[in-house]
Amino acid sequence: MKETLKNLLDGKITIEECENILKADNIIDMEGLIKFDRDREDRTGFPEAVYSSGKDYEDLIIIANNYFKSVKPNEKSSLLFTRLSKSRFESLNDDLSDLKEKGFNLDYNPKAKILRINNYPLKDKINPDYGKIGILTAGTSDIPVAEEAKIVIQEGGCEVISSYDVGVAGIHRLLPQISKMVKDKVNCIIACAGMEGALPSVVAGLVDVPVIAVPTSIGYGVSDNGKTALFAMLQSCAPGIAVVNIDNGFGAGVLALTIVKNH
């Protein structure tokens, strides 16, 4: 980018040529099928991720192999595959042997169904200057959604403080965890809940930081696959709550990163 801008200043290229060069440099065109944005994290603050559900397995192979082609020796690089089944991960683990020979690891979280392909530890991404984000779940069934948010946040460079199974059915479990997060000075809290979706409202009434509510598709009968929790969170009387879609841990993680990095 610096070289291109210098050529523009020196009059060696036109504004239109400069624009085309920069656009082309930011996009990886994979066999004419996939346009991949490799500068998303630098531009937006959150990592590029591949939503795996619904994609052909062959496309996942193409993405993984092509994304890392331009990585220079000793350059740190990573990529997320979200909503990836365990069986597909096991196949990728066998079929991406070339990447592993080049020093890349395939780290799979079975709860979150996220695969991180990387050539350095996740902990190396954490930047203390970005602040901290708290994650709470009402029950253990909400943990997969919370874990999805957690990995996205860590990949975006923020520290996560998490506490699970602290819902309103046993509200005495929640208060010590809220106190700990306040003491640790979290800048934002994600609250994941199914059933009647009450947890975010309670949390927002106790803290002075933004709360991101994540309805989950957990519950009986009229829970309607998370719609009851979604409506309850949208209707909350507690101020300072933002609501993402049902089971959208990824979206909650991205929103939390955006809030914290612009704090």
Of 13-22, 42-51, 92-101, 174-183, the range with the highest mean pLDDT is 174-183
- Which has the higher per-residue pLDDT, 23 or 76? 76
Which domains, from first to last, does the chain contain? 1-30 (no CATH), 37-120 (no CATH), 124-261 (3.40.50.1970)
Q: What is the reported pTM?
A: 0.81
Phi and psi dihedrals of 39, rounded to 5?
-105, 15
Mean of the per-residue pLDDT values of the chain: 86
80-122 tens-digit pLDDT: 999 999 999 999 999 988 888 888 889 999 999 999 988 888 8
Instruction: Give the span between the Cα atoms of 118 and 114, in whole angstroms.
Output: 13
Q: C-alpha distances in angstroms, 181 versus 50, 151, 161, 226?
A: 31, 19, 7, 27
Q: C-alpha distances in angstroms, 205 versus 128, 202, 229, 263?
A: 27, 5, 17, 21
